Amino acid sequence: MSAPSSSSLSIRDLHASIGDKPILKGLTLDIPKGEVHAIMGKNGAGKSTLAKIMAGHPDYTVTSGDVLLDGESILGIEPDVRARLGLFLAFQYPMEIPGVTIANFIRAALQARLPEGEELEATDYYAKLYSKMDALSVPRNFTSRSVNEGFSGGEKKRCEILQMAMLEPSYAVLDETDSGLDIDALKIVSAGVNALRGPNIGMLVITHYQRLLDYIVPDKVHVMSEGRIIHSGDKDLALKLEAEGYDWVEKEYSAGKSAV
């Protein structure tokens, strides 16, 4: 196994379970800064589990392997600390938080990144918030609405990307950010994601639809099945998966395994 780059989000032979049920079974993936990788795979393959384990969800137990952020292991580190280290997860199912406005929520997240005793400057904050909202076509009155409460599916996803734009992570995992979006919203959100692309961020985009990858063109596409990456390729792999489904990859993979 090659040594992980010190400028990457690196998952090394990760095994993880929920209760007694193993879900990740030796997953290895390296996302260098500056690149966008996509993961595709059937329902239940473990894609969201991978995302949540990276973010530090307490329900999952990592049994072996490691997750390295810029060369440092983040396993055993609290979720909020991971986030402040630069990791961002756009949730497949964002939570509703009654009574907490979007403006206060994002402000608390930014405030948590400042040194003790330093206060976030309110005018600058709102100026930045409004400009990002405008770019993502999120109506400005959303600032005073409770986080995700009563939002449509698409609004929730846009709000996730708004948070990402405000928090400027160095690594972002986007879990099915495209599902629930209409065509126009898909373009807007993709443009928002593309605007954040650059040498200082590595992204992992989880999706079921090749269509998203027309807008957010990935450097690499990986296929996940039963808790492992079973195939990797360039962006054209997504087209092939779209046309032919997953069976051939799985067959190739088991053939390869039995050949070993």
Partner 1 sequence: MSISTSFPAEIATSSTLNHWPEWFRKDQQEAWEIFQSLRQPKRTDEPWRFANLKAIDLSDFHAAVPVQDAASLITRSSAHTSLAAKLIFANEVLIHNDQAGLPAGVLLLPLEEAAKNHEELFRKSFMTSEVRLGSKKFAALHRAHLRSGAFVYVPQGVVIEKPIEIWHWVEGENTTIFPHTLIVLGEGASATVIDHFVSSREERSLAIAVNDLTLGTNAKLHYVGVQDWSDKATAFHINTTEVEKQAVSTALQMNLGGAYIRGESDSHLLGEESRSVMLSINPASGTREIDQRTFQDHFAPRATSDLLYHNALADSSRTIFAGLIKVEEAAHETDAYQKVRNLMLSDEAEANSMPGLEILADNVRCTHGATSGELNEDELFYMMARGIPPKQAAQLIVRGFFGTVLERLENEDLQAHLGEILDRKLNLNV
* Residues at the site binding ligand ATP, with contacts judged by CB under 6 A: 18, 21, 23, 41, 43-49, 59, 92
- Report the partner that residue 94 touches, choosing among ligand ATP, partner 1, Mg ion, none (CB closer than 5 to 8 A by kind): partner 1
Helix/strand/coil for 31:
strand
Choice between 165 and 174, CB closer to ligand ATP: 174
Dump the DSSP string for 84-115: HTTEEEE-SSPPPEEEEEHHHHHHHHHHTTSP
State the burial class of residue 64 (Cβ atoms within 10 Å of its Cβ: 0-12, 13-18, 19+): exposed
Provide the token pair at 27: 């997953």
For 136, counting Cβ atoms within 10 Å of its Cβ (0-12 exposed, 13-18 middle, 19+ buried), the class is buried
Give the per-residue contact string, 124-153, with partner 1 (x = CB under 8 A; - = no).
Answer: ----------------------x-------
Closest separation in Å from C-beta 189 to partner 1: 18
* Phi, psi (degrees; rounded to nearest 5) at 118: -95, 135
Q: Give yes or no for residue 97 binding partner 1 (CB under 8 A).
A: yes
Chosen residue from 6, 64, 112, 236 binding partner 1 by CB under 8 A: 112
Minimal distance, residue 139 CB to ligand ATP, in Å: 28
Query: What string of DSSP letters covers 151-202?
Result: --HHHHHHHHHHHHHHH--SEEEEESTTTT--HHHHHHHHHHHHHH-STT-E
The residue among 102 and 173 lying less far from Mg ion, judged by its C-beta, is 173
| Least spacing, CB of residue 18 vs ligand ATP, in Å | 5
- Positions touching partner 1 (CB under 8 A) are 55-58, 78-80, 82-84, 88-89, 91, 94-101, 104-106, 108-109, 112-113, 146, 163, 167
- Interface with Mg ion by CB under 5 A: which residues? 47-48, 92
